[in-house]
Structure 1
Amino acid sequence: MSIERVHLSLTLERLWQFSLQYYSVREVKEACLSLQNHYHGNVNLLLLLKWLDEQGATIAAQDWAQVEECLSRSEILLSSFRELRRKCKRSLPDTLYREALQFELQLEKQQQSDLVDCINGLTLLNADDEPLTLRYCRQLDGEHLYSVFSQPFSDNATETL
């Protein structure tokens, strides 16, 4: 891996907007949900890694534990709330269920904020090795999902679901 540093301007709003656009692609959404539901992956982390891949940046191997640590703060709350929301889906009125979804989205955004703070505290390097999204899918034993994430992202590729 190159020791050349990369200087990126990552803000919560930039990552959030990228995530909304990228996740709106049907195949990406399905692969993300599969990664989350079947391989216990973190979609926000995957979206961040995809953003870094698109920027040609990578995280040093020794910094990976720090990234995972920053996720642990919000992941328990988020996954617990998600599970509760799913269990209550049939018994909640539609308006209350939509409010629960909105609250979950706010938790997702907070988790992305934690990730942005973490990444901005690291030294990023030029990527000349395998993409971060491939490494993450492989780490979760979901390497076959990488074929979806390997496609370059274009704002024009989004579709409304």
Structure 2
Amino acid sequence: MHEQDSVGENVFWTYSLSVYRRKEVAQCCLALQDDAGVDVNLLLYAGWLAGKGQRLDSYHLEQVAAAVADWREQVVKPLRDLRRHLHTIAGAELLWEALKAQELSAEQQQQDTMYACYRALVALPAGQDCLRENLRMVFRYSNPRAAALPDSLGGLALALAC
């Protein structure tokens, strides 16, 4: 089921770096993170799976989210919050850059855990054109009481499909 990768290579991380460079992907992911509390790495994971023709199921999503929850809450989010705060302080540019690198490293570690969860799977359901469905599942998981899907979710689907 799993593609062959080099020893130690996380192809999910490679995918994420590639697609996140697209301005529209980054903008939509950040909007969903800031406005709706959605984990960007889960959105990217949903997109990566869809690109592999795999439908995300609720059990696996809960498994992956639980595996990274403490790391995200105790490491990634505090680094992000501090970096964002430093961005507003004159003279803190070098520290801001260093924190940005640390935050990226923390994100990579989170994705390594997510990829390990994926590699431990026996199978996920196959699905053609499941990108929107996978993204919706991540959004609904993060916002179970949301009445409507935000426009940025559709924008992300379009940006990832390119």
TM over 0.5: yes
RMSD: 2.3
Percent pairwise identity: 23
* Letter of the 1:121 counterpart: A
- 1:93 corresponds in structure 2 to 92
CA deviation profile, 1:56-93 (whole Å, cap 9, x unmatched): 10233333321110121311111112112222221553
Aligned match of 2:136 in 111, 134, 137? Answer: 134
Aligned length: 149
Q: Secondary structure at the match of 1:145?
A: helix
Q: Higher relative contact order by CA 8 Å / sep ≥ 6: 1 or 2?
A: 1
Higher strand share: 1
Q: Secondary structure at the match of 1:41?
A: coil
Which moves more between the two structures, 102-111 or 82-91?
A: 82-91
| Stretches of structure 2 lacking an aligned partner (at least 5 in a row) | none
- 1:151 corresponds in structure 2 to 158
Runs of at least 4 residues of structure 1 off by over 4 A? none
| Stretches of structure 1 lacking an aligned partner (at least 5 in a row) | 1-6
- 2:43 corresponds in structure 1 to 46
In structure 1, what is the Cα distance between the partners aligned to 2:3 and 2:91? 41
Aligned match of 1:78 in 64, 67, 76? Answer: 76
In structure 2, what is the Cα distance between the partners aligned to 1:13 and 1:146? 25
In structure 1, what is the Cα distance between the partners aligned to 2:58 and 2:37? 21
Given that 1:59 and 1:125 are in contact with CA atoms closer than 8 Å, whether structure 2 keeps it comes out as: yes
